[in-house]
């Protein structure tokens, strides 16, 4: 799955924050729900316009953002 199939960054949508394509649900909102202990089935029940693939894409997006080189200037 390509992240671009599921995640969009559009300045006219939720102030340019990463969001699930076709919705106004931010990736950060999905991650917050997961971090607070919500399960995938619970999220899908509360937000029926999301899919399991959307939740996986949110996690993939977060992992990609966390996987970058950190340079320390001396």
pTM of the model: 0.86
Q: What is the pLDDT of residue 63?
A: 93
Class of domain 3-66: mainly alpha
Inter-residue contact 19 to 13 (CB < 8 Å): yes
pLDDT, mean of residues 4-27:
94
65 — alpha (psi -120 to 50), left (phi > 0) or beta?
Answer: alpha
Q: What is the pLDDT of residue 3?
A: 76
Q: Which residue has the tokens 């894409």?
A: 57
Q: What is the pLDDT of residue 44?
A: 98
Q: What is the pLDDT of residue 71?
A: 85
Spell out the domain ranges in the chain.
Answer: 3-66
Separation CA 71–CA 13 (nearest Å) = 32
pLDDT digits over 16-45, tens only?
999 999 999 999 999 999 999 999 999 999
């Amino acid at each position: 799955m390509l992240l671009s199939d599921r995640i969009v960054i559009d300045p006219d949508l939720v102030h340019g924050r990463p969001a699930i394509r076709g919705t106004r649900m931010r990736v950060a909102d999905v991650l917050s729900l997961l971090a607070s202990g919500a399960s995938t089935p619970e999220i899908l029940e509360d937000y029926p316009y999301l899919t399991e693939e959307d939740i996986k894409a949110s996690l993939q997006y977060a992992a990609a953002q966390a996987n970058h080189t950190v340079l320390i200037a001396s």
